[in-house]
Structures are given as C-alpha cells and as structure tokens.
Structure 1
C-alpha cells in the first residue's frame, strides 16, 4: 500500500484501515504499509507521534497504532506488516523506528527495530543524521507466517546492507520486505537498483513499500512502491501517487530461478566465510527490551 502521509493520526489510521480492507477484498493475504506511515515524514514530528510499546502489552492510550493494526489485521483476516512507527525509548529519551507484524487473528508476530541508521551527507542532495534522535535495534527481523513460510522485515536504509538479506535468505525467507520512505534525492537513483540487487543476490522476492509523495513534508518521499521477482525483474511498480500495488508471490518462481542459476549450491565457504554462520540474534515473536 502507498498511502498519502497526513498529520491527523486518527485520520491516518482510518485511511490505512480503508486501504487494507480494499486490498483484502481483492484477495491480498499479506499487506504492507510504509515506513512512518502513522506520522508526517521528518524528525521534528517524532515526539508528538511516537508511541510507547513497553512494557508489553502496551497501554491503549500510549499505543493507539498498535491496537489499530491488530484490529485491522483481525477484521480483514490478513497478515499485516505495519510499516513502521516511531517508538519512544524511555531509557534514552530517543526513539526506535519500529515495524509491527500481526497475524490474521490480530496477534503480534514480531516487532523489528531498524538496525542501520541513515547518517548521510550527499553534497547538493541530502544531509540527514538519524542517530541524533533514533536508537538502533540489534536483532534481525525474520518472521514466520504459518500459512506461507518465513519473510524478512527490515526498514529503509537497512536495504543497503546485503549481509542482513543474505542471512535471512539462508535462514529460509522467501521474501525480503522493506517498509521505506526514501527521499527523492536517493530514491531517484538507488530505489530500483537496491531492490533488484537484493533480489539478484538472493533469488527471492523483494518488496519496497513507500508512502505517496507529499511535497508539503520536510523530506519529500520518492513513492514508487514495487515488487521485484527472483530473477531481479521489477514486475510491478507504482508512480508517486496514493495507490495499492498487488502481486502474487509464487514459490515456484523462486525454485525455478535457483534451479536455473544455482548460485546457492555453488558457494565456496571453503575459501570465504558464511555470514549466516555463528550466533545471530533474531526478534522474538513479542515485544521485549532490545
């Protein structure tokens, strides 16, 4: 889903519910919202729109988006990857960028906190330092959807780090899902390229879900939500306007691609290390202290 950003949280959640219901009515079973979907795009909005998720379960008045997502998933009988929301960290007084994933009964399957923070300075394009106001997560988001298999959930800048995607793939993920809000400055040059690179590396589906473009924001989002198939082809892509993007993720496409180009069977761990070996921390299917 690629909804328009807004400033009224209640209206944002109502709009999200309507879009999920529309997608579900057309047969969608796994639905994705964009990064920071419940707030305007910009660091100055975090204190107002952030929610407190711990201790778990959170209080309803401190986490309205949490309960709205749970209700939306249950009412539509879908797996809902709730984009991401700003989560207040009482210990540091900063925030996490957190994705909440719910099952068709409205139960929380996992909460993933963005691991890599967007600290960049591209002259003439964009300067942004997320670490000034965000804390980073320290676990990988590998989520088991009982009806389908495993997906990996990461957020925006995380897509630039291939190790995360490689580990998730070797642990059985059939899709890499990135709620994202790339600004135009980087989206215009890297959005498609990164999605195709991760799909090409791992021979699976990659989903990038961003908000519709709103020129009133501090950072203007690129839009262009898309799906890339296991052969690294962009099979569907939105423009910048509010819309719903749909595609069937076919496991036979993954199997066929890996059979035709068997890179996973031809890796040489005798001459280079396996990044998926050793101790790796994954998010538990519940909210907990990082």
Structure 2
C-alpha cells in the first residue's frame, strides 16, 4: 500500500423525511453519493440511524422495538443499494448504521456497513449502547462485538458509531493500530446530546493526532416519536497543531440543515505530526498504563 498525501472526504447532514417506499429512500441516498462523487470525494459518510427513515413505510406507529426490527428486515436491500453505488461511482461509502438481527434473531444490534469500490464490504457493530437504545429501541451489542480497523488503498481508518466516540480507549486502540482517520456517524435528538458527541470527537482528534469526520441526522418523522427530533451538524475535525486548521475544525455545516460538507485531509502532515509534532500525545500516552497503576490517594 502506497501512502498518499491528501484524501478528500464528504460528510452528510441527512434529512429524515417521510417516504412511501424503499425506492424513495434509495433515490435520496443515491443523490448524496452522486454529489460526493461529483466533488471528487473518495469517501462519503452517512449518519447513524439514517435508516430510521424507513419507519415511515409503516402506516401506523407500532411499538418502537417492532419498528426497529422491521427496518432490520430491509438490510439486504440496503447492502445491495450501497454496494452498487460504491462500485458505480468509485467511492468508499460508510453507510451510517442500520438495525440488524443477530443470527438467532433474538437480539437487534446497531451496525455500520463500509463499502469499497472494489466490491469488498466490512461491518463495524456499535460497541456501547445508550440508555435510549437499550430501553426504548431494544438494541444491544453482539457478544462478539469488537473494534475493527479498515485498510483502504489510501491508509487505515476506523468507525466509532456515535456514543462509542465518548470512550477514549476505543479510539486509542484504533490509533495504535495505525488508523489515520476516525469516522463518526451520529444521531442525536437535542443540542446537549450532539455536543457530547462533538466535543468528544474533537478530543479524540487531539489526543490521537488523527482526523475525525462526523455526520449527523437532521429533520424528523413527525408520526414517530422515536425519530421526530434530530439536532445535527457535520464536521471534519483536526489535531490542534501547526499545519492544521487554526481551531481544529477543517469544515462544518450549518446546524440542522440538509447539506454536505467536503474537506481535504492532509495525511502527509498528519504522519509528520505523529512523528515530530509540537506535542506527541499518541506516542506519549503509551506510558499511560503505568501511570494508572500508580495512583496515590492523598487525604487533606
């Protein structure tokens, strides 16, 4: 694999609007892939749970766990759609997330599918569930769920689905395996929830000297309380050092609008920063285990 200097990525603020059939969902998703390809992006990121748009195929508001399970039954169509789009437009698609049934059909989990133009296809399950997912959606984590680092022609990357980015150890593990970019598909219903994810994403960019790309759902489905509110803003975040964006923000959308942001990731600068930056948090953190074992409690 040959190192490349620059990678153009696109990230979506995807509007959840009512649809009448899967074809309308496919049309909306396809237009964003086409737009990203027109802008010469090599990767496009959809948000977590953007597939909940498929709730609106139901004429009545069923219990939420039943709606979620219903979306999982459309996973085959979802895979077929994005696999074809990736190959047709020669772009890597990180296709947000979709509910999926476990092999024994007892558990529903939340997983992100990654599609390569060469036809290969990977899956990253969400590792940590929010209370809302567990208590309202009935979604859990598979017993064999683990972090994956994907190796593309341009380098290594990882996916942390929304809440997962709030756990530093998850992202640090990816960085230590050589991931240069972290993609964070997110879905949050209010400002507080959004900024929990956003601020953690920015912290992960700094402490791991990596790019972090976040996508968001916006809009909503008024007939379905579980998907009626979304607060979102896509962002491309950088380390905080010379050679990167002054405020650590390479690009961001206007919050709560339907849009796509595009940015060029300077991977050469990133590699140089990891080797010889003003500070070296990724390298220096490798003594962290020793520090954590030597904590002293001082009573005052």
2:251 alignment partner in structure 1: 236
Contact 2:44 2:91 in 1 (8 A): yes
Q: Which structure: larger Rg?
A: 2
Residue aligning to 2:298: none
Q: Deviations over 1:140-181 (max 9, x none)?
A: 021111x21110112111011110100000000001111110
Aligned residues of 2:14 and 2:258 also touching (Cα < 8 A):
yes
Task: Find the counterpart in structure 2 of residue 135 from structure 1.
Answer: 140
- Tell me whether 1:250 sits opposite 2:266 in the alignment: yes
2:237 and 2:249 in contact (8 A); partners too: yes
Number of the residue aligned with 1:106: 119
Q: Cα distance, 1:44 vs. partner?
A: 5.4
1:118 matched to 2:133? The reply is: no
Q: Secondary structure at the residue paired with 2:16?
A: coil
How big is the shift at 1:129? 4.6
Cα displacement string for residues 16-45 of structure 1 (whole angstroms, at most 9, x for unaligned residues): 111101110110001111111222386553
> Quick one: which of 38, 45, 56 aligns to 2:67?
45
Show structure 2 runs of 5+ residues with no match.
Answer: 1-11, 56-63, 241-246, 294-300
Whole-Å separation in 1 of the counterparts to 2:273 and 2:281: 10
- The yes-or-no answer on 1:2 pairing with 2:13 is yes
Q: CA deviation at 1:255?
A: 2.8
Deviation at 1:51, TM superposition (A): 3.0
- Equivalent-residue separation in structure 1 for 2:221 and 2:250 (angstroms): 27
Distance 1:141 1:186 in 2: 28
TM-score by length of 1: 0.80
Q: Distance in 2 between matches of 1:208 and 1:269?
A: 27
Shift of 1:200: 1.2
- The match for 2:5 is none
| Deviation for aligned residue 1:186 | 2.8
Distance 2:116 2:146 in 1: 20
SS of structure 1 residue aligned to 2:81: helix
Give the direction of change, closer, same or farther, for the CA distance of 1:266–1:48 in structure 2 (3 Å limit).
Answer: closer
Q: Once the two structures are superposed, what CA deviation does each residue of 1:204-263 show, in whole Å capped at 9, x if it has no partner?
A: 101111112337352412110111012271221112111111111111231343322123
CA drift of 1:117 comes to 0.5
Measured in 2, the distance between the counterparts of 1:96 and 1:7 equals 24
Taking the aligned partners of 1:16 and 1:166, their CA distance within structure 2 comes to 31
Task: Structure 1 unaligned segments of length 5 or more: list them.
Answer: 53-61, 120-127, 275-290
Which structure is higher in helix share?
2
- Output the TM-score relative to the length of structure 2: 0.78
Q: Which residue of 2 aligns with 1:283?
A: none
CA distance in 2, matches of 1:181, 1:49: 16
